[in-house]
Amino acid sequence: MPSPPLSIVQSLSPRIAVLTSQDVIQSCEANGCRGLEELLRPWEGGAERVSILSSTLTPTIHPTFPLRFVSFESVYVNPTLSAPNPDITVDLISSFVGAKKPEEEQHYPLTRSLLLSSRPLASHETFNHPVGILYAVSTATLDPLGMLNKLHTQSTATAAQNVPWMDGNTVLRFYVVIHDISTMGDDMATAHELLANVKKAYGPHSTLLVINSQIEHREPPMSPDISTHSSIPLPRPFTPEQSNPSALSQVYASALSSLTLSPMAAASASLGETAVSNTPFSPSRPVRRKLYGSKLSAEDTQRLAALVRELVGQSLVPWMEARVREWNEVYHANRRGITGRLFGAGRKFFGSRPNSPAPGTSPTGYNAVKGYYPMSAVEALSRRLADFAFMLRDYKFAGGVYDSLRKDFAQDRAWRYAAGATEMYGLCQLLSHPFFLPSSPPTMKPIPFTNLQHVEITSWLEQAVTAYHQHAPATHIQLDALRITVLYYECWKMIGEWRAVGAALVKGAGEADEVPSAVMIEEAAAADVKGGKSSNGKRRRAFHLALAARRYETAGLKTYSRRCLERASQLYRISPWTSAQDRIEYSLGRQAYTLGESDVAVEHFLRLLRREDTGVPGSQAGPLQDMAQAYEQLAARPELLAESYEKLKLPTPVFDSEKTRIIPSSESSYSGKSREKWTELEGQVLSTWDRKGKKPMTLLPDAKRIVVGEGETFQVELVAVNPLNSPVVLTDITLTIDPTEDITVETISEISLEPYETRVISLSVTPSWASTIHLSNVTFLFHRFFPCVQALTKKGRRLHGTKAQRLNPTYAEDTSLTVNVTSSRAGLHVELEGFPDRAYAGEEVEGRIRLFNRGKTQVENVGMIWNHVGLIRRKEDTKHSDTPFSIPNLIQPNTVMSIYQDKISPGEEREIPVIITLSNPRIMDMLGLITFSNPGDDPQTFATTVSYQIESLPIINVEAQVRLCEKTPLEFAIILETTNMSSEILQIDGVKGVSPIWETNPVQSFETLFPNQVLRSIIPVKKELSTKTDLCQSATIEALSKLVQGQPLDEISASLDSSTSIAGPSISTDDLPSYLAARRSHRLQQLTSSFPTISSISLAKLFPLIEPLDLDLVIKYSISDRQGQIFIHSLHPSPAFSLVEEIRKTINIAIASGNKSTRTMYEETSRLRQVLMDSVLDGVLAKEDDPVQVRIRVGERGKVKHDFKQNVAKKLPVNFEISNSSPLLPVRWILKLPRPSTTSLDNTLSPAQYTGLLTRKGTLKAGEKEEVIADLWIHEPCSIDLGGWELSTETGDVVDGLDWVVRNSWNRTGDEKILHVEDIA
Amino acid sequence: MSFYLAIVSPLDSPLFELSFPSAKPPPGTASSAASTSSFPSWSTFTASNGSDLGADGQTGKTGGNLGLLSGETKTGPERDRAMCQMIAHKSLDSVEEMMEGTGSLYLKNIDRHNEWTVSAFIATSVKFVLLHDIKNDDGIRLFFLDVWESYVKILLNPFHTVNTPIRNPMFESKIRASAKRNL
C-alpha cells in the first residue's frame, strides 16, 4: 500500500474541532475519556479507501485518510492547549528520549512523533487550523436543540476565536446526536426524532451515534499498558464475536498514550499531575482511571468507526473538494497569466487589489507589524487552498500554488510565510514521486530522483531551514526547521534516497545544543552509511557521531553521548588521525569517569598516553592528571581493579627492552672491537698451553653467556624513554627476576623524565645462590600512581634453518638477559699502576701489576699475555751486565709469562713490579689477558682482561749509511747520524751492533745532545771470519722449496737453529729482552710484507729471527735517570745475493718438463699461489747485487808529474783494484780497456792510450781482491780521461770444484776519471 | 582566514599535516559576503558554543572533583587540530564520491562544515585535502600544483612509499612558501 508515510499524512491531516454538550462529556468520561474527541481517537484513521476527486476531476482512491479530532477549546479558545510551546516540546523530547535506554533505539521515533505532533497553531500555515467542527449533543440533554443552537452560536461568535489570522468560520459543520444507552436505555425513538429535527435545522451533515451500549457490568479488565510510545495505532473495530474488554481497553490506552496522536494527553500523563492540572477542564475531574472503554461494546466501536467513515466520506472530503474548486477560482482570478503578475506588482504599489474577495473594510496586504496576512487576504486564502489540496493529496496542484505563494511571500518579506511555502513546495515535489501514488503496486522498487531533481528538492529544504535559522539566534532551537527536516527525511527513507541526506539532517539540526538536534545528527550518521557503496560514508558517519555525542553531552544525555562516541571511536581508533582520536578517547574517558566506571575511564585515558610526535608540547599532561584521578577512584574498588587489571597497559612501553643489558661487575671492556683482540690472545694462550689441569675450551667468559659469582653484584642497564610530551615521574622501579628467591634487587625510588627524554638507569642485582636467573619484568609506578609491569623480552637472532623459519620470521631464544650464577668462581681483578701516561720511544718504564682476588676461592699460578709481545715483562731483581755469545734465533710465539706462582687468598692483593718497554712513537693500546687457576686437585684456568694505554713519544731520529772500507772487501763503515727529536737534553750512551757475522766495535760515548742537535759517528764493521753461521739459510730455503712445490703450509717447518752466535762484543743481557721484542716485531713486519700469503704463525716456523747477514744497531740513550734504547734493524753491509737460485732451478726444470702444471679449482687459489711463487722467487730472498768493486789508482791525487824533456814518452802504470765484497760467492770478471778514440768531442781531454793486453780476466773468491796493472802511454802533459773501460762480472757457483755455473752477471763502464799529467819543468 | 592541509595516504592515514594562516590580508566585506553561503556564518573556533567539539564537559561536573577533568587542559590549537582532522577525514568520503564522477584532479569545494570549506586534489594515490574558510579557487589550484610538485620530489626518494609519513622540514618550508604565494 504505497502512499505517503503515515507519519506525514497523519500529522498533516485535517483537524476537526469537537464541541459537545456537558452530557456527552459525561458519557465519554464513563469510558475513561475526557471528551468525545478522545472517544473517537482510536478510530481517527478509520476511514479507508477514500475516494478523492482531484483538481483535475480524476477520482483517486486513497487507502487511508486520517483525521485529527481536537477539542474546540484547544483550537478556538486557547490555542496553546493543542500543542506545547517549543521549550516544553524540547524538554519533553529530552525527557522522553532520556527515559529510554539507547539500546531501545527509540530516540528518533520519539523525537519524530513529538516534533510532528507538537506543531502549533500558526499563522503561516493552515494545517492546524480547523477544517471542520463536530457538534455533539446527547439525547440525555433536556433541550437538545436549544443546546445545539447554543453550541453553534458559541462557535460562530467572533469572541470564540482567539487568533485573528484563523478562519474559524469557513469550516465544515457536522452534527452528531449521541445516544447513551447506559443512561437513556435502548429506546432509540427519541434519538431518531432528535436527529430528524437536527437534520431539519442544520442540514444533512448530521448523524446519530449510539454509545455505551454495554449495560451489564463486566469484570474490570487488567490495567492496560499506558506507557507512552511513538507509533500510530490503527485498530480495527471489534466485531461482536471478538468483544474483549481488555483488548478494547488496550486500544484506547495505546491511542491515548501515543505521542503522535495525542501528544498532550500522553505527555501530561508522563509528566505527572502538574501538567494535567493545567488543562482547564481537569480540576473538576477525578484522577483518570487506567481503564478505558468499560461501557463500550463491540458494536459501539463499529459505530464510532462508522461515524468517522461517514464524516470523511460523505461530508468532509466533498466539502473540501468544493472549497478547493471555489478557492481555485479566486486564486486563478488573481494571478492568471502575465496580467496577474502585473496586477500583483501593481497591488504592491497601490495597496489594494481588484477582485479581492473582501474588498474595502479590512486591509488585505501583509501586516508587517504583526507579522501575518489577514484571513481575508488572497494569500491567506491561497495558502489554505494549497493546504486543502495537500490534505487531499493533490500534490502537483498544491505544489504549484505553494510555488507561486513562495514568490509572493518573499516579495512581501513575510519570511515565515515564505519559508513555510518553500518547504511545502519541496515536500510536494518529493511526494509527487510516483512511488507515493496509491495506484502503485506495493512491491514497486522506487525509481530514484534524478540528480537535478534531488538537488532541487534538497535546496528547497535547505532554503526553508536557512530561513528559520536566520531569523532566530543560532543557539535557539528551531523546531520548525527540525519538523520539516523530519518530514523530508521520512519521505526520503520511504523511497530509499540517501544522497546527501545526512548533510541535510545536520543542517536541519542547526546549532542548538539540545536533544532534538543531537538526535537528528545521530540520525544523519545513520543515514550516511546507507545507500551507495558499503564502504562509503563511514568516515562521515564517525564525524557526525562525534558531533552528536557532543550535543547529547551538553544536553545531558550521557548514555546516548557515550554510545555515539563509542561508535565513532570504532572508526577513529583504527585510523591514525591522532588528534581526533585523542579527542574521542578523552571524552569517552571523562564520561566513563563521571559515570563512575573508573576502570573504563582509565582504559580510555591510557590510550591517550601513547607516543605521538605531532602533538602540542605538554598536551599530554592533562590526560595524565585525569588518569591519576580516575585511577585513584579505581584503586578504591579492588575487585574492579583486579578485573580490569589485564586491560590496563601503557600503549607505548616506557623501557626499551632491546637496549636492556646486563653489565657484569668488573669486566666492562668486553664489548665492541677489542673483543676480537681478546679472542686472539685467548687463542695464543691455548695454542701454547703449558699449565696443569685440563685445557679448557675457552678462557674468556662467553660473550653470550653472562656468568657472575654468588653474592657478586651486577648491574642491569635499563633504557627509559618518556613516551609523552609532558614530564613523567617513574617511581619504585625494580626488576622481577625469575626465579625470585635469594636475589637482592635494588629499587630506584624516583626518577623524573622530561618530555621524550631517554635515560639510562642502572639497577644492581645481587644473587645469593647459584642458579640460572632470568630478567623477566621491570616493575614501576608510572607517574606515581599507575603500577606497570613491562616484560623485558628480546628477540634473538633470526633463524634461517628450515623453510618454515624462512617463511615465518622465527627468532632464536635470547640469552642476553639470562645470568648464570656460579657457586664458587675464582675472580681476579687486575690493574696496571704506576706507569706514566707517556714516555719516549724505547724507554723502559717501571710500574706494578696489582692483582686482587675478588672471588671466593684461592688463586694461583697467575700469568699474563699481551698483544704487544715482550714489551711488558717482570722486573728482574738482579742486574746482569755480561754479554751473551749467542741469542735466541727463533720467532717465538706469544706465550703466557708467569707473573705470580703462589696462592692468593680471597680478598688478598699482590703487587708485581713490571717494566714496559715503549715501542715506536704512537699510542699503544696494551691489551692483556691474565690467566690464573684455582688450586686443588682439579685446577681450572680462568682468564681476566686488563688493558692499558700509554703514549710513546719520538726521541731520536737515526740515519745510518754503509760505506765500503778501503782495506779489505769485507770491511765496511757505518755512518750514523743521530738527531735529538725530543725537547729534552739527552745523552747517547753508546752504540752497539748485534749480528751473527758482522763484528762491530762498540762505541762508548757520552755525547750530550741538545734538542735538534745532530751527532755523527762512524762505526767500523767487519766480517767475523771464524763464524760458522750458515749464510745460505739452507733450512729456510729447503722449507720454502717444499712450499713452492706445492706442499701444504701446515706440514712444512724448517729445522731452524734455536740460537745463533753473536759476533764480537755486543748487547748486554739486561737489554736483551727489549732488543728481542723489537727485533721480533720488526722481523714479523718485514716478513709479512714480503710474504703476504703466509700467516705470521707459519712465518715463525719458516724463518729465523735474525738473518745471518743482518746487522742491528742498538743505540742507548739516557735522559737524566731515565734510560732507553733505539734499535736500527737489518742493515746490510755486504751486497745481497740470491738464496733461492736452487729453488728457481728446480722450478724451471719442472716447468720445462711440463708435468707440474697443477690445476686449481678456483682462480683465487692459483692467484695466491702465484703470489707465493713471486714472493719467494722474486722477493727479498732473490735479491742479488754486484759484489765487485773497482778502484783505479794512478799517480797521486789524480796528478802525475813527468819530465818530458828527459823522456819524451812514458808508460804509466794504472792500477785497477778489483775486489769481491760478497761474503759467500766467487766472482769472474773481464776487464776491457778502451782503445783510444779518434773522434773525441772534447778536445781538452786526451783519450787514454793503454798498452799491453787490453782485455784482462780473473776469478775472485769471496772477500778477495786483485790488482790489475795496465800501462798508460803518455807523451805530453795533458789531462787524460781514464774512464771508458768496461767490466763484466758474473757471480757463480763452483760445482764439483770445476764447473762454473753462472748465477748472475753485470756489466759496467768506467766513469770519467781525469788524470792530469804535468811536466816537471 | 586560516588553512589546514592534510596529505592522506591510500590507507586514510595523514602523511603530512600543516595548518597555517593566510598570508594575504582579509578581503573586503564584498568578497567575504560573496564567498560565504546563505548559511549563517559562525566560527567553530570563536563561538562559545558553536564549536561542535570544544568546551568539553562544561556540564559534566557531576562526578565529584572534576576540576581537572573539565578539559581546561586542552589548549586551543589542540582542539582546532582535532576538528580539522575530523573534517578532513570526513571529507574523504566526499572526495571518493567525487573522484568517481570526474576526471579532473582538482576537486574544489567538495564539502563543508560550518565555516570550513574543503577542497581536494587527487595526486595519483594520495589525496591532498585543504580546509579553507575563504573562496580562492585559482589560488588553491596553484597551491595544490605546487604541493604536488613538492610531493613528487619526495616520492622520488626510493625509500619513500606512499604510506610513509613525510617529516621533511624542506617539504614543509616549500609548502609554506607556496601558501604564502598563492593563498
Strands in B116-123's sheet, in edge-to-edge order, are B14-21, B2-8, B126-132, B116-123, B106-113
Q: Is the pLDDT score of A771 beyond 60?
A: yes
- With beta carbons under 8 A apart, name residues in chain A contacting B47: 474
Contact B93 A587 (CB under 8 A): no
What is the average pLDDT across A1119-1142? 85
Interface of B with A in 5-34 (CB under 8 A): 12-14, 17
Q: Which three cell numbers stand for residue A162?
A: 482567539
Residue among B38, B42, B82 minimizing CB distance to A582: B82
> CB of A1068 within 8 A of CB of A1114?
no
pLDDT, tens digit only, all 183 positions of chain B: 688 899 998 888 888 888 887 766 554 433 333 333 333 333 333 333 334 444 333 333 333 333 333 333 344 555 677 888 888 888 888 888 888 888 888 988 888 887 788 999 998 788 999 998 888 888 899 999 999 999 999 889 888 888 888 888 899 999 999 988 887
Interface test with A, best of B68, B81, B91, B102 (most A CBs within 10 A): B81
Condensed to tens digits (0 to 9), the pLDDT of residues A210-219 reads 887 776 666 6
**Chain A nearest CA to B4, separation (Å):** 14
Cβ atoms of residues A493 and A502 within 8 Å? no
Q: Give the gap in angstroms from C-alpha A539 to the nearest C-alpha of chain B.
A: 5
Helix (H) / strand (E) containing A316? none
**Which of A539, A543, A629 lies nearest to residue B69, judging by beta carbons?**
A629
Distance CA A596, CA A232 (A): 39
pLDDT in tens, A1039-1079: 888 888 778 888 888 888 788 888 777 777 778 888 888 88
Q: How far is CA A320 from CA A325, A389, A452, A453, in A?
A: 9, 8, 34, 30
Specify the long-range contacts of residues A633-640, CB closer than 8 Å, at least 24 apart.
Answer: A633/A593, A633/A596, A633/A598, A633/A601, A634/A598, A634/A599, A634/A601, A634/A602, A635/A785, A637/A598, A640/A598, A640/A599
Please give the pLDDT value at position A623: 81
DSSP assignment of A816-864 equals TTEEEEESS---EEEEEES--SEEETTBEEEEEEEEEE-SSS-BEEEEE
Q: A1126 with A1120: CB under 8 angstroms? A: no
Distance from CA of A136 to the nearest CA of B (A): 50
Comparing A261-270, A814-823, B129-138, the range with the smallest average pLDDT is A261-270
> Counting Cβ atoms within 10 Å, is residue A740 exposed (0-12), middle (13-18) or buried (19+)?
exposed
pLDDT tens per residue, range A1229-1243: 998 888 876 665 666
What span, in angstroms and rounded, lies between the C-alpha atoms of A8 and A233?
Answer: 15
pLDDT for residue A826 is more than 60: yes
**What are the Cα distances from residue A1279, in Å, to A1063, A1207, A1238, A1254, A1312?**
47, 18, 16, 21, 12
Asked whether the beta carbons of A1268 and A1231 are under 8 A apart, the reply is yes
Question: Of all residues in chain A, what percent carry a pLDDT higher than 90?
Answer: 0
Q: Find where cell 479590512 sits.
A: A362
CA-closest candidate to residue A381, choices A406, A399, A411, A405:
A405
Contacts for A1104 with CB less than 8 Å, ≥ 6 apart: A889, A890, A891, A1033, A1036, A1056, A1057, A1060
Residue A26 is classified by DSSP as H
Q: What is the rounded distance in angstroms from the CA atom of residue A913 to the CA atom of residue A930?
A: 15
Query: Among B9, B70, B93, B168, which would you mutate to test the A interface (most chain A Cβ atoms within 10 Å of its Cβ)?
Result: B93
Which of B37, B53, B102 is the best residue to mutate to test the A interface, defined by the most A CB atoms within 10 Å of its own CB?
Answer: B53
β-sheet with A998-1000: strand ranges across: A956-964, A971-980, A1014-1023, A998-1000
Dmax over CA atoms of chain B, in Å, equals 57
- Interchain proximity B78–A615, CB inside 8 Å: yes
DSSP letter string, A403-455: HHHHHHHHHTT-HHHHHHHHHHHHHHHHHTSGGGSTTS-TTPPPPPPPHHHHH
Minimal CA separation from A397 to chain B, in Å: 29
Residue A363 has pLDDT above 60, yes or no: no
**A345: pLDDT confidence band, cut at 50, 70 and 90?**
low
Question: Number of H helices and number of E strands within chain B?
Answer: 4, 5
- Through-space distance between the first and last CA atoms of chain A, rounded to whole angstroms: 162
Alpha-carbon torsion (A390, A394, A395, A399), positive or negative: negative
Nearest to A494 by CA among A887, A2, A1111: A2
Determine the Cα–Cα distance for residues A630 and A589; give it in Å rounded to an integer.
9
Nearest-CB residue to A616 (from B63, B75, B87): B75
Reported as a single tens digit per residue, the pLDDT across A128-175 is 888 888 888 888 888 888 888 888 888 887 666 777 788 777 888 888
Q: At residue A720, what is the residue type?
A: A
For an interface test with B, the pick among A587, A594, A783 (most B C-beta atoms closer than 10 Å) comes out as A594
> Which chain B residues are within 8 Å of A470, Cβ to Cβ?
38, 40
For B91, the closest chain A residue by CA position comes to A540
Q: Do A587 and B57 touch (CB under 8 A)?
A: yes
Chain pair A-B, CB pairs under 8 angstroms: 134
Q: How many residues does chain B have?
A: 183
A864, β-bridge pairs = A897, A930
Chain B: give the shortest CA distance to residue A427, in Å.
21
Q: Residues A1211, A1250: contact at Cβ < 8 Å?
A: no
ipTM greater than cut 0.85: no
- A435-458 as b/e: b if 16+ CB within 10 A: bbbbeeeeeeeeebbeeeebeebb
The strand pairing partners of A1020, in sequence order, are A973
3-state helix, strand, coil in chain A (%, to 5): 35, 25, 40
- A739: cis peptide before it, omega within 30°? yes
Mean pLDDT of A915-923: 85
Segment 98-127 of chain B within 8 Å of chain A by CB: 113
How far apart, in whole angstroms, are the C-alpha atoms of residue A1315 and residue A1312?
A: 10
**B110 to chain A, minimum CA–CA distance in Å?**
12
Helix, strand, or coil (residue A1093): coil
Q: Quick check: A583 and B82 CB within 8 A?
A: yes
In this complex, is the C-beta atom of B89 within 8 Å of any C-beta atom belonging to chain A? yes
